Amino acid sequence: MRPVARTARSVFVISATALALHKGGMTLCGGTIMALRDALDAFPRAASDDEVAAAHGRAREVILARLAGDEVAFNAAKYALEVEMAALWALRARAYARGAAA
């Protein structure tokens, strides 16, 4: 595996992907939620034209639901994040398949 530059944005993408792939609710995802919160603290805003902008907003919703202790809102926000991350990785996979830099 070749080394990748570590930026606040890349840490956000990794953390959001990890939570999207993690099964379970607020309790089981505790450590992954904390990693996402830290990533959002380091990457507080995504430009509106950034491909991760929608996922960034969904990640904020996940954290707000967790802080409120609202399991229903958390599950809805986590699912929305899962959908956004799947779309992001599908775009990257298509770009990679075409030979473009992802």
Summarised one tens digit per residue, pLDDT across range 18-66 is 999 999 888 888 999 999 999 999 999 999 999 999 999 999 999 999 9
Q: 47 by DSSP, 3-state: which?
A: coil
For residue 99, name the pLDDT band (cuts at 50, 70, 90): confident
pTM here is 0.89
Terminal-to-terminal C-alpha distance of the chain: 15
Closest by CA to 81, choosing from 60, 65, 102, 67, is 60
For residue 3, name the pLDDT band (cuts at 50, 70, 90): low
